[in-house]
């Protein structure tokens, strides 16, 4: 079998930093190898040897970075197999929290590598659970994320904020406090179940109506206790990580059917289950956060804004946009995340008003019903704002599929391209990819979407 090598291995063989090798590839100083089905570069032994020979005759780190060859980058992007059918997607902190229509990290990774350079700033203007932001940081870029969903902003922060050793100790102390609660629940002799009466937690809980409808009474007490313990964590970063961990278990211990189905169904949740699930998620979250904290260099940072994009939020200028916008009529994030937002102390009604594309707005009756023109109008405003923030001649990449409104198929990529053209963004490439059915939790009754487009626009 022919031997093959990864980018990191070839860089090590050549005795140069991986970034140096990536720069040589961009500058076409060394030949571009093939890619595997996950989109990663695969070097043959001959290619690796040629690069090692090239390294011997070069002063790589002293050479100034030459301008990127954008045409070559675009043609490399066109050659990638974008389906990434069996790619691993849960590395680092990517799996901290589920998120409907989250895209797989390999997509932003390839776009960031090809269309930006180390040290530049990458924006995801609908950052959701922060996939682009984490990929930007691990590729040594800065990141800016924007989302109107407060839960999305929280997950994005948890995913991208490295923890110091002292903060991991805070996590350890918090875990011990949670275990003490579990001992009381399990033995049924402690405060939680004294005299056969359920303990009333002194922690905050949502209004009784929400609790009674969506949660068994003992689950409410356990969640209230966990929330109170989280609020007592001194450091903001570990506190955020624990809040996201709590949010991650809420749907599974509630009577909500699933993440993308906001209907009530009876489930058997035993006393202690909520705390046990939380502890198990906390262990995975701490491991993932350790791995991320060890990898991300502190000279690169990520800023996440909890903001409505239509309100034209103030940001630093950026060099590349990689985003997956909401599709009209496909999701209702404010509904799916309602119980989570409530437990985190946020008002889902506020987000409901600002959410673009929500199924609710497109299925409303009367004058307020949203239409494809509503969506186009929103994106015309967004592109005008983007014009003032994205640097000249740089790219904005949108990963978006079609949707169905009133039984009519809507080509959202073309709609975005037209809205962008009005603001001086020219289409540079459009790539179609197949969505793995297990990867995107689309509601088939709404969209039945099997492919999506990667639309690359260039600011002229």
Q: How far is the CB of 135 from ligand SAM (least distance, A)?
A: 10
Cβ pair 50, 31 in contact under 8 A: yes
Q: How far is the CB of 148 from ligand SAM (least distance, A)?
A: 4
CA distances, 442 to each of 154, 202, 221, 332, 439 (Å): 23, 39, 33, 11, 9
Q: How far is the CB of 132 from ligand SAM (least distance, A)?
A: 6
With CB under 6 A as the contact rule, the residue among 121, 129, 293, 453 that binds ligand SAM is: 129
Cβ pair 298, 162 in contact under 8 A: yes
Q: What is the 3-state secondary structure (H, E, C) of 203-258?
A: CCCCCHHHHHHHCCHHHHHHHHHHHHHHHCCCCHHHHHHHHHHHHHHHHHHCCEEE
In angstroms, the first-to-last Cα distance of the chain is: 47
Cβ pair 324, 399 in contact under 8 A: yes
Cβ pair 106, 100 in contact under 8 A: no
Determine the residue with CB nearest ligand SAM.
128
> Taking CB under 6 A as the rule, does residue 256 contact ligand SAM?
no
CA distances, 314 to each of 249, 258, 347, 386, 459 (Å): 33, 35, 23, 11, 19
Binding mask 354-393 for ligand SAM (x = CB under 6 A): xxx-------------------------------------
Looking at beta carbons only, is 271 or 326 nearer to ligand SAM? 326
Q: What is the spatial distance between Cα 107 and Cα 83, in angstroms, rounded to a whole number?
A: 9
Torsion of CA 304, 307, 313, 319, to 10 degrees: 40
Q: What is the spatial distance between Cα 260 and Cα 415, in angstroms, rounded to a whole number?
A: 26
Cβ pair 252, 245 in contact under 8 A: no
With CB under 6 A as the contact rule, the residue among 87, 110, 148, 153 that binds ligand SAM is: 148
> Taking CB under 6 A as the rule, does residue 308 contact ligand SAM?
yes
Q: How far is the CB of 244 from ligand SAM (least distance, A)?
A: 13
Within 414-443, the residues that bind ligand SAM by CB under 6 A are: none
Q: How far is the CB of 392 from ligand SAM (least distance, A)?
A: 24
> Taking CB under 6 A as the rule, does residue 336 contact ligand SAM?
no
Q: What is the CB-side half-sphere exposure of residue 242 using CA atoms within 13 A?
A: 27
Number of residues engaging ligand SAM in binding (CB under 6 A):
23
> Taking CB under 6 A as the rule, does residue 333 contact ligand SAM?
yes
Q: How far is the CB of 448 from ligand SAM (least distance, A)?
A: 17
> Taking CB under 6 A as the rule, does residue 146 contact ligand SAM?
yes
Looking at beta carbons only, is 99 or 215 nearer to ligand SAM? 99
Q: How far is the CB of 149 from ligand SAM (least distance, A)?
A: 3
> Taking CB under 6 A as the rule, does residue 309 contact ligand SAM?
yes
With CB under 6 A as the contact rule, the residue among 162, 272, 326, 420 that binds ligand SAM is: 326
CA distances, 40 to each of 110, 124, 239, 457 (Å): 8, 22, 35, 24
Q: Which of 236, 250, 238 is nearest to 206 (CA)?
A: 250
> Taking CB under 6 A as the rule, does residue 178 contact ligand SAM?
no
Q: In the numeric block, which tokens belong to residue 90? A: 């849960």
With CB under 6 A as the contact rule, the residue among 324, 329, 403, 412 that binds ligand SAM is: 324
Number of neighbouring beta carbons within 10 Å of residue 390: 23
> Taking CB under 6 A as the rule, does residue 131 contact ligand SAM?
yes
Looking at beta carbons only, is 25 or 304 nearer to ligand SAM? 304
Q: How far is the CB of 146 from ligand SAM (least distance, A)?
A: 6
> Taking CB under 6 A as the rule, does residue 152 contact ligand SAM?
yes
Contacting range for ligand SAM; rule: CB under 6 A; set: 53-61, 140-148, 363-371, 441-449:
140-148
> Taking CB under 6 A as the rule, does residue 126 contact ligand SAM?
yes
CA distances, 198 to each of 193, 220, 255 (Å): 5, 11, 20
> Taking CB under 6 A as the rule, does residue 321 contact ligand SAM?
no
Q: How far is the CB of 445 from ligand SAM (least distance, A)?
A: 18
Q: Which residues bind ligand SAM (CB under 6 A)?
A: 99, 101-103, 126, 128-129, 131, 146-149, 152, 308-310, 324-326, 333, 354-356
């Amino acid at each position: 079998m022919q031997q093959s090598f990864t980018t990191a291995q070839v860089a090590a063989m050549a005795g140069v930093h991986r970034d140096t090798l990536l720069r040589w590839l961009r500058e076409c100083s060394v030949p571009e190898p093939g890619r595997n089905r996950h989109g990663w570069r695969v070097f043959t032994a001959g290619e690796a040897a040629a690069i090692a020979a090239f390294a011997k005759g070069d002063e790589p780190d002293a050479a100034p970075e030459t301008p990127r060859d954008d045409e070559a980058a675009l043609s490399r992007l066109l050659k990638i197999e974008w389906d990434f059918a069996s790619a691993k997607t849960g590395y680092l902190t990517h799996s901290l929290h589920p998120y409907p229509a989250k895209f797989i990290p390999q997509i932003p990774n390839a776009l960031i590598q090809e269309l930006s350079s180390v040290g530049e700033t990458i924006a995801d203007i609908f950052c959701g659970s922060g996939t682009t932001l984490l990929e930007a940081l691990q590729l040594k870029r800065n990141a800016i994320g924007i989302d109107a969903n407060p839960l999305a902003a929280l997950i994005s922060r948890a995913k991208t904020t490295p923890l110091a050793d002292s903060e991991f100790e805070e996590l350890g102390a918090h875990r011990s406090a949670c275990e003490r609660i579990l001992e009381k629940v399990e033995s049924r002799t402690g405060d939680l179940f004294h005299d056969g009466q359920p303990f009333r937690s002194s922690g905050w809980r949502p209004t009784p109506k929400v609790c009674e409808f969506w949660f068994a009474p003992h689950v409410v007490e356990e969640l209230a206790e966990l929330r109170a313990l989280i609020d007592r964590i001194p450091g903001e970063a570990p506190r955020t990580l624990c809040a996201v961990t709590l949010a991650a278990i809420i749907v599974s211990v509630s009577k909500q059917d699933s993440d993308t189905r906001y209907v009530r169904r009876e489930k058997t949740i035993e006393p202690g289950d909520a705390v046990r699930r939380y502890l198990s998620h906390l262990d995975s979250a701490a491991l993932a956060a350790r791995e991320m904290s060890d990898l991300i260099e502190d000279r690169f940072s990520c800023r996440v804004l909890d903001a409505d994009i239509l309100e034209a939020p103030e940001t630093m200028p950026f060099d590349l946009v990689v985003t997956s916008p909401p599709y009209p009529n496909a999701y209702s994030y404010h509904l799916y995340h309602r119980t989570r937002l409530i437990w985190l102390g946020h008002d889902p009604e506020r987000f409901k008003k600002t959410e673009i594309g929500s199924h609710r707005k497109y299925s409303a009756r009367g004058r307020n019903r949203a239409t494809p023109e509503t969506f186009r109008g929103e994106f015309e405003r967004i592109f005008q704002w983007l014009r003032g923030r994205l640097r000249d001649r740089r790219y904005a990449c949108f990963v978006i599929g079609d949707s169905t409104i009133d039984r009519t198929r809507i080509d959202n990529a073309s709609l975005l391209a037209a809205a962008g053209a009005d603001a001086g963004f020219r289409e540079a490439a459009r790539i179609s990819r197949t969505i793995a059915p297990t990867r995107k939790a689309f509601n088939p009754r709404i969209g039945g979407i099997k492919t999506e487009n990667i639309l690359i626009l260039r600011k002229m």
